[in-house]
Amino acid sequence: MSSVLLRRALTGVVAALTALAVATPAAATGGSTIGSPGLGDPYFPLAGNGGYDVRHYALDLDYVRATNFLDGTAVITARATQNLTQFDLDLRGFEISSLRVDGAPARFSRDGQELIVSPRKMLRAGRTFTVRVDYAGTPTEVIDPDGSSEGWVPTEDGAFVVNEPQGSPGWYPANDNPRDKATFEFTVTVPKGITAIGNGKLISKRDHKDKTTWRWREDSPMAPYLATVTNGVFELRISKVGKIPLYHAVDPVEVPEGAFERLAAEAEVITFFAQLYGPYPFTSGGGVVDHAPEVGYALESQTKSQYDSTPGAGTVVHEISHQWFGNSVSLTVWPDIWLNEGFAAWSEWIYDEKHGGDTAQQSFEASYARPATSSFWNRPPANVGGPQFMFGSAVYDRGAMTLQALRVKIGDKAFFDLLRDWYAKNRNGNVTTADFVRLAEKHGRQQLDAFFQTWLYQPGKPTTW
Ligand code: ARG
Ligand code: ZN
């Protein structure tokens, strides 16, 4: 382990302990007034920060691809959850020209992705405050443990902006943890002829001299990793499914023809899952098809799925299902990633089943046919062994198999009620695997610890369950 890693690992332990310590307001305990530098996630201990809860991000960004220069102002509205003389934000790179808390200049320093802020006056627990950060520079791409590039990834004519799990601090100061959901607004200024697409609804588009300013707003709470402002040469088409506006954008230069037809399928997919799981979670939807080969993944960015190339039909189904499972019902810690990916993979199976394709049981069997000696079986979905395996096939396929096996075990009625209830109870919230097990036991009217132990946690190919 390098000294940097060692330092980070130790900080992670400290962060986890601090997070526990600050669970009770410092005022009551006489404890620390320093917000912890991380929230102690087992995979990303420094992601997110303690001591406050973000309510809203207002990001004002000016980007020029020719120089790859991003000039930003972030205004973050947050509520202190303890007395704070110091707290962190997560941000990588950039020069900071000014940092203000409630309008007053604040001292700050940098340590890796930690932007450490000391407001002039202590922020009392319960108080709402604003942090304004003026920053500029060339965004640094974030390389994930699995080797993918993310964050602000320059393309031929703009940038492809995706962040799962840790790209956000590469382009805006964040409390980068899925537990801290907030609303977002984006004001993005780009050269005329360039389209910038943020989450949520398009509020306005204004030309001034040789620039255009695009404003987007997402009014449902959103995990920071789901934020996007992908930009470039795009054709933007706006349609509707019911009352919900759908925004579809395709790079007409870099992407082969046919992408709009793929995106058009979203309307039916949204209707399908709304019937199956409950009402569509958000007030807008859509998708963006760009050409960003070094990213190498599609992402369910809230209300605007991001495709690094033209998606297959199954990928569209997958990303749309994440709007329910992943985006509205969010994980609490990253090792529970199967709650996102297993659900989305199973969603593809049930979509096929209900559209005259293979049944979910046939998909289960095809997946289960892997020989017991396959390394696939060594990484149980809720216990993959490290962040580099978070998006491995076991999380998706064995995660989906877990749900299908559960369906067979408790029966269709209980199973479909369970999924609807899971969504209804946890809409806009955060969940854990233990929460799911508890609810499954309630709907299934049986003890399911051994079942989930076998499917989610134990290495090896399940034989009885
Ligand atoms: N959630 C995305 C999907 O459903 C995958 C994100 C992969 N991220 C990564 N760093 N490999 O397909
Ligand atoms: Zn997925």
- DSSP secondary structure string, 334-349? GGGTHHHHHHHHHHHH
CA 315 to ligand 1: nearest atom: 12
Which residues, other chains included, contact 362 with Cβ-Cβ below 8 Å and sequence gap of 6+?
Answer: none
345: Cβ–Cβ under 8 A, 6 or more apart, which residues?
A: 318, 396, 397, 399, 400
Question: Of 159, 169, 164, which Cα lies nearest the Cα of 148?
Answer: 164
Strands 182-191 and 285-289: unpaired
- Return per-residue pLDDT of the chain as tens, 465 residues: 334 344 444 444 444 444 444 444 444 445 799 999 999 999 999 999 999 999 999 999 999 999 999 999 999 999 999 999 999 999 999 999 999 999 999 999 999 999 999 999 999 999 999 999 999 999 999 999 999 999 999 999 999 999 999 999 999 999 999 999 999 999 999 999 999 999 999 999 999 999 999 999 999 999 999 999 999 999 999 999 999 999 999 999 999 999 999 999 999 999 999 999 999 999 999 999 999 998 999 999 999 999 999 999 999 999 999 999 999 999 999 999 999 999 999 999 999 999 999 999 999 999 999 999 999 999 999 999 999 999 999 999 999 999 999 999 999 999 999 999 999 999 999 999 999 999 999 999 999 999 999 999 999 999 999
User: Which tokens is 195 given?
Assistant: 């389209």
Please give the CATH superfamily to which domain 334-457 belongs.
Answer: Neutral Protease Domain 2 (1.10.390.10)
Ligand nearest the Cα of residue 345 is 2
**Nearest residue by C-alpha to atom 1 in ligand 1:** 299
3-state SS, residue 260: helix
Q: For residue 52, how far is its CA from the centre of ligand 2 (angstroms)?
A: 29
Cβ distance 39 to 177 under 8 Å?
Answer: yes
- Beta strand 69-80 pairing with 285-289: unpaired
Beta carbon of 164 within 6 Å of any ligand 1 atom:
yes
Task: Please choose from 391, 395, 397 the residue to mutate so as to test ligand 1's pocket, defined by most ligand atoms within 8 A of CB.
Answer: 391
Listed by start position, the domains of the chain span 33-233, 334-457
Ligand 1 proximity of 348 Cβ (cutoff 6 Å): no
Ligand 2 centroid from CA 259, angstroms:
19
Q: Does the pTM of the predicted model rise above 0.90? A: yes
Q: How close is the Cα of 297 to the center of ligand 1, in Å?
A: 6
Q: Counting atoms of ligand 1 from 1, which one is nearest the CA of 296?
A: 11
Atom of ligand 1 nearest to the CA of 150: 10
Question: Residue whose CA is closest, atom 4 of ligand 1?
Answer: 299
Phi, psi torsion values for 451, nearest 5 degrees: -60, -50
Strand locations in 38-127 (E): 52-64, 69-80, 87-90, 95-101, 104-105, 107-111, 114-118
Decide: 141 in ligand 1 pocket, CB within 6 A. no
- Using CA positions, which residue lies closest to atom 3 of ligand 1? 299
Q: Assign a CATH topology to domain 33-233.
A: Immunoglobulin-like (2.60.40)
In whole angstroms, give the CA distance from residue 342 to residue 301: 17
- What is the CA(252)–ligand 1 centre distance, in A? 24
Q: Which ligand is nearest to the CA of 342?
A: 2
Q: How far apart, in whole angstroms, are the C-alpha atoms of residue 291 and residue 278?
A: 33
